[in-house]
């Protein structure tokens, strides 16, 4: 059987709330806010660097597709053009 002890019962830890001091004297809500701002700034920076843009309409999607096709056709035509020095040579 268990023996009764005279020691006081163990104290339960305080519940974690938004006002709980977590690190360096900052409260939990402050740490979460700082972390969220940090993550948001990284996302915004990456989107600006890599120009991540989501097309919004079908018209924009089709316009971008047509632009890519036109650029591809132009590049293919440039490959078939002979160098300039061959075009400007005067025979004889």
pTM of the model as a whole: 0.44
Q: Report if residue 2 sits inside a domain.
A: no
Q: Is residue 44 part of a domain?
A: yes
What domain range is 35 assigned to?
28-78
C-alpha neighbours within 13 Å on the C-beta side of residue 80:
4
* Intra-chain end-to-end CA distance of the chain, in Å: 119
Q: Is position 54 within any domain? A: yes
21 occurs within a structural domain: no
63: Cα separation from own chain's centroid: 25
Total domains in the chain come to: 1
- The Cα 72–Cα 78 span in angstroms is 10
**What pLDDT digit, counting tens, does each position of 33-59 carry?**
999 999 999 998 888 888 766 767 889
Residue 53 falls inside a structural domain? yes
3-state secondary structure of 14: coil
Residue 42 is predicted with a pLDDT of 94
- Establish if 45 belongs to a structural domain: yes
């Amino acid at each position: 059987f268990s023996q009764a002890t005279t020691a006081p019962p163990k104290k339960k830890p305080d519940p974690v709330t938004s006002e709980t001091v977590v690190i360096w004297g900052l409260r939990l809500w402050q740490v979460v806010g700082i972390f969220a701002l940090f993550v948001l700034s990284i996302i915004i920076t990456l989107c600006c660097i890599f120009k991540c843009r989501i097309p919004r309409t079908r018209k924009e999607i089709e316009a971008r597709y047509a632009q890519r096709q036109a650029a591809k056709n132009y590049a293919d035509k440039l490959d078939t053009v002979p160098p300039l020095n061959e075009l400007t040579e005067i025979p004889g």
